Structures are given as C-alpha cells and as structure tokens.
Amino acid sequence: MPAFRQVGEKQLPNPVMCMAWSPKRDLIALANTTGELLLHRLASFQRVWSLPPSEFTGKEITALAWRPDGKILAFSLGDTKQVVLCGVEKAEILHMFPMQNPVTCMHWMEVMEESSALSSFYNSEDESKLFLPKLPTLPKSYSTTSKIFSEEKSDEIMNLLGEVRLNVLVLGGDAGFVELYAYGMYKIANLTGVSGTCRSLSLSSDLKSLSVIAEVRSADNNPQICYIQLDTGLLSDCLPEVTRMARKFTHISTLLQYLHLSLTCMCEAWEDILMQMDLRLTKFVQEKNTSTQVQDEFLELLLWGQSSPELQALLMNQLTVKGLKKLGQSIESSYSSIQKLVISHLQSGSEALLYHLSEVKGMSLWKQKFEPLGLDSAAIEGAITAVGSFSLKANELLQVIDKSMKNFKAFFRWLYVAMLRMCEEHVPPELNKMTQKDIAFVADFLSEHFSENEELFDRKGKYFNVERVGQYLKDEDEDLVSPPNTKGNQWLKFLQESTHLKESPLLFPSYPQKSLHFVKRMMENVIEQCLQKPAEVIGKSVKQAVFLPLYTVPESSENTPRLFELPSLWNDKKAKMHYVVFCMPEISPCKLYLLRKGTDPKRHIPNSVVSIDFSHHLDNADDDDAEAQTHYVYKCLDARFYDDEMLTVVMQGAEESSRHVLAQLPLASTLSCETEFNWEPNLRLDQQSSAIPCQGLVLGSQWRELENMKAQFVAVNGIRKVACVLSANLRHIRVFEMDVEDEDDEGADSQNASADQDGLETTMNSQGQGEESVKAGAGEHRDDTCQKAEEQLESEEALELS
C-alpha cells in the first residue's frame, strides 16, 4: 500500500514559476510564466480563482509569500518592480508599493516571542476604537481610475492590519538589497552591505537574526552560493517598542491610502459635473452665429426676460424642461457627493491620522525606549502640522462647495422658471418669487461658470467651468485661479497683527493659494520622511555575523527557475535554529547536506554540517521488494522542510531513466551524529566536502514511487500535512495528503477525495468564498472523466519522458 494519498493531479497549460501553500488552509498559490496568479484547493486540485496579469501591476511574477494568518498573499513583479498584497477571499489587490530593485525572493514570518510588555500591548491595542469613529466605506457608485480596486475597498484596506502580533515581510533582490516590512506594509529596516543576489531568506521568529542565501561573484568572477547570517539584535532587544511603533505606522499607512481613495472618488464626482454640463452646452457655443458670449446671452435673459433665438433653441430643443430638471438633480447629487466625502471621509481620516501621529509623538518623547529605533519627535511634529493643514484645506473646500451649491440652485431654479414661461406653461407660485439675493446668486453663477477665456480653453475647448470647486481637486502645483476671499475675516486680521501668534507652532498653516491635492501631496511627503528614518536607523544597526561560501553554481542549473533551486531555508522556532538544506551535484550527486546555525549568532552549534548519503541505506529489508529498495542508489532532486523533524524529498535513481520517488526523511538520526566538522575558513564547503560527517539514508515506509511523472520539485506544508509535486517541464502537478496511506481500491479513493472536497468547500464557503462548488459523488460519469484524464496525462507524460 503506497504511502501518502494522492488527492489531485493536473496538467497545466503554462509552466509554473512559483508555488506556495497557505499556512492556515488547504490552498496552494501558483504563478505561471504568463504572469497569472492561481489559487487551487487541495481536493481534486480545483481552481478557486485566478488573477490575470495587467499592465498596471505587471506580468512577471518573481516570488510568492503568504501572510502567517493565510488571509493575504504577497507577490512581487519583476517588470514593474512592485510588490502587491492580494486578498485571498475575493482575489482583490488591496495594496501595492514600488521597489527600487526587482524582488527575487520573499519570506513572511510571525514573531513568536512573548513578554509582559507585549501582552499588555496586545490587550490595549484597540483603544483607538474607543476614541475614533469607524471610518465609513467609500460610495459604491464610484470606482477608482486604476480599475484594480473594488467598490467597497475601504473596509478591505483597514483589514490589511490583520492581527496585532507582529509579522514581518522580508524582501530580497539584486545588488544585495534586503528590506523588512512590518505587517507587510511599513518598512522597518532597509539593510545594506549584503553581497550578491538574494536567492532565499528566513527571518528567525525571535528576530535575532536573518539568514540569507546569496549568489555572489568570487574573485575569479565565478558565481558561488553563500550562506549569510545577519545580526538583527536591535529588533529582538526592542521587540515591544518595535511592535508598538510598527503597528502605529501601519495604521498611518492604511489611513493615507484611505484618504487617497476618498479624494479619487471626489475627483470622479467633479468630472461628472463637467461632463453633464459640457454635453449640453458645447454644441450650442460652437454653432451659435452671434458674437456674444454665453454668459452675455444668459445675462440678457436674466435682466430683460428676453433671449436670443439661438439660446431659446438651445433651451427648448436640446435641453428641454424635463432635461433641465434631470440635469439639475444630477449635478446637485454630484456636489452633495463631494460634500459628503469631505465631511465623512477626509475629515474622519484626518482626525484618525492626527490621533495616531500624536501617539507616535508621545512614543518619541520616551527617548530611552524609542530613540534607538530612530523616532524623531521634531519630524513627527512636522507630520502632525501637515495633517492639520490638510484638515484646514478640506474645511475650506467645504465652504466653497456650500457657496457654489447656493449659486447653482438659484441658477437652475431661475432657468427652470424662464423655460416654463417660454413654453407658456403655468409657473408655481413658490418658484415665481425671486429676491435680490437670488439674482446676485445667479449672476455669480454665470460669471463663475460660463466664460471663454484662455484658462478655459486649456480644457480642450469645453465651455462650462466649475473652477471654484474643481481647482481644489486638480493635481497640479499651480496656485488657485480663484482663491477664497478673506477680506473682512477678523481671525486672519488678528493673526497678521499679532507678532507672537503669526509664527506660533500651535497654529496650522492654511496655504490659501494651494489646492487640496497639493496640500495632500505635501502631507504624504512629510509623513513619508517621518516613516523612513526608523528604517534607516534599524538597517544600519544590522551587521553581518556569518559569511560561509558553500559551492560554485553548477552550469546545469542555469535554466532552472531560481525559486525552485536549493538551498532551502527553515527556522526551527522551538530549538531557535536556522537550517539550510542543499545539494552539491558536481561534487557528490548522491548526497544531501544540512547546515545548522543558532538564531543567536553568538551561540555555538555542534555538528553544524552533516550530510545524508542516498547511495547507502540503513533500512531493514523485510521482503524481496524492500531488499531491492535498500540497494537502489538515489540522487536528490529537491528537498523542503516538512516540519522541524522531517524533510520531504524528491529523489531519482542514479540512472537517467530511473524512477522518481517522493519520501519523508526523519532527521533525528542524522542530527545525532557525534562527529564534529571543523570548517576551514579560507575554503568553500565543496572544497572540504570529504571531511563532512555522513549518515546513511533511512526511508522506512514513508516513500512513494511517482509513476508516469518526471518529478523534479516539491512544495510542502507540515501544518496542513500536504505536498505538491511538480514535474521537470513545470506543467504536471500532483497533490498529496502526507499523513494518509493511499487506498488500493480506486472507488474508495474516489469516495474519500470527494468527502475531503466537500469538507473543504464547506470551510471555504463559511469564510465568505464565492467560488464555484463541485458536486461530490458524481458516480460513473466522474469515473469516466477521471479515466480519460488519466489516459491523457499518461500519454503526455510518455511524450515528456521520451
């Protein structure tokens, strides 16, 4: 009876470049050569969703990593140099940030250390909810211009924070670039001094060190694989402070994105006003034969009650009474949307920003705790001032909108009455009354919104102008065309006359000549500078503790996807150890090597390097088949840590056409080796490989031959007890449950797989998944389908093997 149970198999249309199991669910993420991101479930390897490539995000996925809670999937793009955070529930892109260099590898870990200071912080972290109202969701009627965000994006953005416990996304790339992002969003460290190109990363769960596998050019310009251990002791020593600071800055980052989306919705509402009026008036202005301007035509109608034939034709034929009423309602709705967004979104978001920045300022004043992390109270004070200026500008926009709406309502009410009179229809008495103030409102509306000056021609010949409100929403550096009139403002007059208050740090500058967009960009830049300093300070504190050259890069691996290549890293959280597993095929093709280092760089680890000889078996032969197995010589193709005590390996017989095997290798006997290896510091490991202690291969019963498959790579998850095997052509995939033996009876196997599938569907649906369900127990039709699929796979695999 074969070990492990196969629960799915598929021949994919495009080669797979990355694959990673979810840490919490039976889901696996795949990225292929077209830039498509796929999510599959364990049962029958059914696809849950796919995220196609786009020009906005990119088309060359270079690395994948799951957030430890399994709710967010991070992936990097080489062509656009971006990192994207994707929600697993709905395949939505929640956050993106650019990188200076392409990312070649990533690792997302969760801090497992406990302390009384951290426990108190975990319990009190949600205090902001007691003082701040919940931020409202963005209106459904607007979607952002980037077309990658959903309508109810604001809730998803705030959920990016996840759990309070600190988790860190580690990114590595070319030219030794390594960056650490707390909660996947806030950069807490920018590391420099790492040699070569990063191939793999692993940050220890106690934050004491970072293991890096890098490809470094040697003195003779040959690429070699090196193990580098970086001492991140500052993060470990100041863990409670780092967690508090990172949590606050992540709050701030999400709020900045929330404000950005709110302002985008306001701009779209403003564009609706422009479009509605331009559609009605552009044709009239372009075709009219008179030399008078549009506003002159309307002023004649206002003053004398008579209109030109052109204006009357426009009003009665193109606009109509019914159309005017509908247009008025539409524009009033757009104005109201902008007003509500300012009140409920911009002001609420600004208040939350001020709250969190004020708390960060309080932290920075506790210099004993937070000054080593680079918190600068002066820089934070500047950020608070910038947010205050943004709030003042938003309030100024509210006043402008209020005045514009009064003029707008008065104009449409007057024009509606004028058109009723042209049609000789009855005018309701409540609309017939018009005060001198109403006439002034109409005149202001005409002078403000209808003109043919040079500024208006900048909008490509359109003739309706909402410059008074729209100027605040333009993303330009120019001053406002119509700044607010501050004559008679007693407060401003008092400030100008007071020498003490004029330069007071307690008062926020208002920037009366600048737009809302300009003040927002200025605020973002100030906050960005405030956030960058801790990353620089922490990054400079990180020092290289270990540099071990392992072996030269074999020429045969040049065409292999870098993400699938060994070495593989693992962090043993209980023993506080870093593990590196690798092969040196050009030196000893039948051996697998294991390197161990303590997470504390100062800690000495005995038996730091051992090897497993795949040509020497220690199994007891109980029957003829087992006896044949013990004399079989293997070479290792791929190896990944299943858990702290087990390796999952893909092996192939020493002969080229030999069988492929998936096996579980217990490490207890290998790590119990008493022979100590003395590393010569001036030599690479492959140059002294003969002195490395060696143990024989112990397979036991935990192995399975992979028939009709040229297996090459494997991805495993010991928590969920699952494995995914990928063929050498990167298209053929098989999925296994590792703690269940396969059934001899094909019907029983099908039944079990269906039952597992049902259970997974129930779990996913209860968590809000919207994917299609698959019916279990499809009977003979399913058996026929499976048989045809197996025949197709066998024929494709035969071609592949040939």
pLDDT at 753: 39
Segment 606-620 shows an average pLDDT of: 77
Cβ neighbours for 239, distance < 8 A, ≥ 6 positions apart:
111, 113, 115, 118, 166, 207
pLDDT at 770: 39
pLDDT at 150: 38
Q: How far is it, in rounded angstroms, from Cα 628 to Cα 621? A: 8
**Confidence band for 757, pLDDT divided at 50, 70 and 90:** very low
Question: What are residue 179's phi and psi, to 5 degrees?
Answer: -135, 145
Q: How far is it, in rounded angstroms, from Cα 670 to Cα 679? A: 19
CA atoms within 13 A on the CB side of 589: 13
Segment 298-321 shows an average pLDDT of: 75
**Confidence band for 75, pLDDT divided at 50, 70 and 90:** very high
**Weakest mean pLDDT among 63-77, 104-118, 294-308, 443-457:** 443-457
> CB-based burial of residue 736 (10 Å sphere; 0-12 exposed, 13-18 middle, 19+ buried)?
buried
pLDDT at 328: 79
Tokens of 784: 């026929």
pLDDT at 761: 39
**How far does Cα 95 stand from its chain's mean position?**
4
Q: How far is it, in rounded angstroms, from Cα 220 to Cα 278? A: 69
Segment 174-184 shows an average pLDDT of: 91
Segment 5-21 shows an average pLDDT of: 93
pLDDT at 146: 37
**Weakest mean pLDDT among 29-38, 184-193, 284-293, 726-735:** 284-293
Neighbours of 486 (CB within 10 A): 11
pLDDT at 631: 60
Does the pLDDT at position 106 exceed 70? yes
Does the pLDDT at position 168 exceed 90? yes
Does the pLDDT at position 520 exceed 80? yes
Per residue in 200-224, pLDDT (tens digit) is: 999 999 999 999 999 998 777 788 9
Per residue in 251-261, pLDDT (tens digit) is: 898 899 889 88
pLDDT at 614: 86
Place of tokens 């196969």: 6
Does the pLDDT at position 66 exceed 90? yes
Q: How far is it, in rounded angstroms, from Cα 444 to Cα 299? A: 11
What's the whole-number average pLDDT of the chain?
80
Which of 269, 265, 263, 264 minimizes the C-alpha distance to 350?
A: 263
Segment 59-68 shows an average pLDDT of: 94
**Weakest mean pLDDT among 189-193, 402-406, 596-600, 715-719:** 402-406
Task: Give 502 or 358, the one with higher predicted confidence.
Answer: 358
pLDDT at 715: 94
Does the pLDDT at position 188 exceed 90? yes
Max avg pLDDT among 282-286, 434-438, 549-553: 549-553
Does the pLDDT at position 798 exceed 50? no
Task: Give 609 or 476, the one with higher predicted confidence.
Answer: 609
pLDDT at 618: 53
Q: Which residues pair with 167 in a beta bridge?
A: 110
pLDDT at 254: 86
**Weakest mean pLDDT among 41-55, 367-381, 566-580, 766-780:** 766-780
Longest CA span, the chain: 113
Q: How far is it, in rounded angstroms, from Cα 620 to Cα 551? A: 34
Per residue in 716-748, pLDDT (tens digit) is: 999 999 999 999 999 999 999 998 766 544 443
First to last CA, the chain: 28
pLDDT at 157: 62
Does the pLDDT at position 314 exceed 60? yes
pLDDT at 22: 95
Does the pLDDT at position 327 exceed 50? yes
pLDDT at 159: 64
Per residue in 667-724, pLDDT (tens digit) is: 888 888 777 888 888 899 999 999 999 888 877 788 899 999 999 999 999 999 999 9
Per residue in 267-287, pLDDT (tens digit) is: 888 877 777 666 666 655 565
Does the pLDDT at position 12 exceed 50? yes
Q: How far is it, in rounded angstroms, from Cα 593 to Cα 611? A: 4
Question: What are residue 290's phi and psi, to 5 degrees?
Answer: -75, 160
Q: How far is it, in rounded angstroms, from Cα 624 to Cα 328? A: 90
pLDDT at 470: 79
**Confidence band for 48, pLDDT divided at 50, 70 and 90:** very high
